[in-house]
Structure 1
Amino acid sequence: MTSLRPFDKLPKLNTAVVLLVGSEEIHREKIANAILKEPKTVNVKIHMTQSLPLPYEREHLRPRFDMVVFLINLRSQFSLSVVLRSLSHLDLNYFLGKVCFLATGCADVKSCMVDISVVKKLADKHLTTLLLCQLDNEEDVACSAQRILHNLEICAGLVPGVSALYLTPLISNCLAFDQS
């Protein structure tokens, strides 16, 4: 079991690859299907796993992941613990704009087992984007899929003049704006 590194493999031409990490398969599938339904100008490949690390046996077949999206269900403490354990198996270079947290199930605060402020602090600590999504609402899922897809294209280097490193200062500027 090795840590996942963003630059170990060469990218494929006009292809962006995203890894969805989350404890609940149904949530990963909803987001993946929404991403696939969106109009795209590039080939998008989606891989899903419950947690990291990924098995070493298939390492030679695995593509380079341009972006990693961690799904956290706010109604499940287990979901947060899976993400926290998985973060240690991710190379630090991924946190240069190639990671995103997606919090689901945040409509009813009373039913949340995980406080949204915990997830926000986690995203702030890693200087990554935090998206909030209701998986019951198709419009919200589609909007989240569009944002993930746009960030994925940037992370894959398919948007001229913009790199994933550009996303980190934008996030830190937003954090500075939120604190004032």
Structure 2
Amino acid sequence: MADLRSFDKMPLLNAGAVLLLGGEESWRERLAQALLRDPRSFQVQIHMAPGLPLPTDPHRPRFDLLVLFISLHSPAGLTEALRDLSRMDPHFLLGRVCFVAAAGGARRPRALEEEAVRRLADTHCSPLLFLHTDSEEDVRCVARRLLQLLSVCAGLVPGVSALSLASFTWSSTGN
């Protein structure tokens, strides 16, 4: 049985909930702080976890957007993302998942090729953003992009559904 399902919880009013999964904890923290600092017209709830399954919590909200971090410095990053994806209801994936390929530290060698992460995102028809954690401007830019995606996934943009996020896929890979 899947850990995350599409309609197991009610949506929040004028709010969006995002789950940041995987990657290094410091990267998730920096992105979460940037998400909270950026001005927006709706409330944002941010939850973080190293991976699935999540602990059972009856007060946990419905997640409108799931962000999967994949570290380009570790070959295990792709394996962990695939494991987390297997724990989700396939219907949840449609328009609610975004991949963030993260790299930081100029001296750290990359263990994963960007093309492998692109193929994963294309396979799941999901947006892919690249994050260079050494650049504060890049962290802010990715946070703004995630807030735009979250507003669509939470149903806060009239006339646009989360399923239309596939049209953003090609424009986000060039970030």
TM-score normalised over the length of structure 2: 0.91
AA at the equivalent of 2:51 = S
CA contact (8 A) 1:106 1:112 kept: no
Q: 1:100 to 1:164 in 2, by over 3 A?
A: same
Tell me if 1:38 matches 2:35.
no
Q: CA deviation at 1:106?
A: 7.1
**Residue deviations 1:40-61, cap 9 Å, x none?**
11000000000011123x2x12
Q: Deviations over 1:125-174 (max 9, x none)?
A: 00000001101101000000000010000000001111111112453xx3
- The Cα offsets for residues 84-117 of structure 1, whole Å up to 9 and x where unpaired, read as 1111111111221110000011786981101111
CA distance in 1, matches of 2:88, 2:48: 15
SS at structure 1 position matched to 2:133: coil
Deviations 1:16-55 (A, max 9, x none): 0000001411111011011011001100000000001112
Kindly provide the amino acid, as one letter, of the partner of residue 100 in structure 1.
Answer: C
Cα contact 2:2–2:89 (8 A) shared by 1: no
RMSD (CA atoms): 2.0
Identity of matched residues, %: 46
Contact 1:2 1:53 in 2 (8 A): no
Bigger proportion of residues as helix: 1
In structure 2, stretches of 5+ residues that fail to align are: none
**Other-structure match for 1:168:** 166
4+ long deviations beyond 6 Å = none
User: Structure 1: how far apart are the matches of 2:9 and 2:107?
Assistant: 42
Secondary structure (helix, strand or coil) at the match of 2:137 reads helix
Aligned position for 2:93:
95
TM-score for the superposition, normalised by structure 1: 0.89
Structure 1 runs not aligned, ≥5 long: none
Contact 1:20 1:47 (8 Å CA) reproduced:
yes
